[in-house]
Amino acid sequence: MKAKSYAKVNIFLKIVGTRGDYHELISRFVLVKNLYDIVSFEEKETKGFELEGDFGCDTKENTIYKAYKLLCDLDKRVEIFFRSHKVTVQKQIPSFAGLGGGSSNAAVFITMANDAIGLGLSKKQMAELGKRVGADVPFFIHGYNSANVSGIGEIVEPFEEETLEFDIITPRIKCDTKEIYAVFRKRFLKHTDIAFAKKLASMKSKYIMENYEATEVNDLLKAALVVKPELKEYLQPGWFMSGSGSSFFRLKYMKEKHKNESHSKKQKSFSRF
C-alpha cells in the first residue's frame, strides 16, 4: 500500500493576530503535484513501530511517529497493525524548506492508516487529529488543490482556480520556523493588515503572483531575511518564498516570459543605434 505525499507552496501568507504562543494567519495553500514523497506500508517480521526514510530529525520528533502515537491512543488496532507493517518514506521534498513535507507525510499516514485498518474516521475527524501534529496537516488531510487556510491552520476552505505549475528552488539554508516567527512577533507584528489579507484571499493565485511582490504577500519574508540574510540572493523578480522558507517558487511560464522580455529589451536597445 502506497500513496503520494505532495508538497505545497504558500501563494501568500499574512499574519493577522496571535492566540497564545500561536499565530493566526490567512494564507493560500496550493499543492505542488510534481514534487512529492511516497509513503508505503510494507509487511515486516520485526516487532514494534518501524519508520524508514531520509529524515532530518529523530524518529520520536517525526510527524509520522507523532501521528502514529495519537492513532494508538484512539484505537488499539493501530499498534497491532504496525507490529507487522513498517512505514517507508521515499523523500523528495526538502526538509526545513517551507514546503510542508512533514505535515504532508503525517496527513498521508493518517489517511492510509484509516483505510488500511478500517478506523472509520471522517475527514473532519482526521483533520482534528492532524492539527495536534502540526498546523499545516489539516490542509493535506482535505486534499484540496488550492485552499484558503486561516485560524492557526485549522480552517481550510477550498478555493476554485486553475491548476498551476511551479519552478521551485531550495537553497542549502536551514530556516528555523520557530525562530522566524519569534522575530516576526517581536519586530513586525504591529504592521499586520487584515483588510489586505482578506483581499488577497479573494484573488486567484496567478493574479497575485503577476501583480504583487514577494515582500508584499509573505509576512514572514522580512523576518526570514533578518534571521538568514543570505536568502536575499534568491529574492529575484517573479520569485516568492514559501512559508518561512527557505524555498522559492515562481510560475513555470515566467521563465520564458522573463527571457522574452530580456530579449525584447536587447532588441530595443540595439535599434537605437
Q: Which residues are tagged catalytic?
A: 8, 136
Q: Where is 18: in which H helix or E strand?
A: strand 2-19
- The SS3 of residue 247 is coil
Q: Which residue type, as a one-letter code, is found at position 12?
A: F
20 burial level (CB within 10 Å; 0-12, 13-18, 19+): exposed
Instruction: Look at residues 172, 167, 166, 165 and name the one whose alpha carbon lies nearest to residue 233.
Output: 172
Instruction: Look at residues 14, 33, 36, 34 and name the one whose alpha carbon lies nearest to residue 25.
Output: 14
C-beta contacts of 115-120 below 8 A and 24+ residues apart? 116/1, 116/41, 116/81, 116/85, 117/75, 117/77, 117/78, 117/81, 119/71, 119/74, 119/75, 119/77, 119/78
Looking from the CA of 65 toward its CB, the CA atoms found within 13 Å total 13
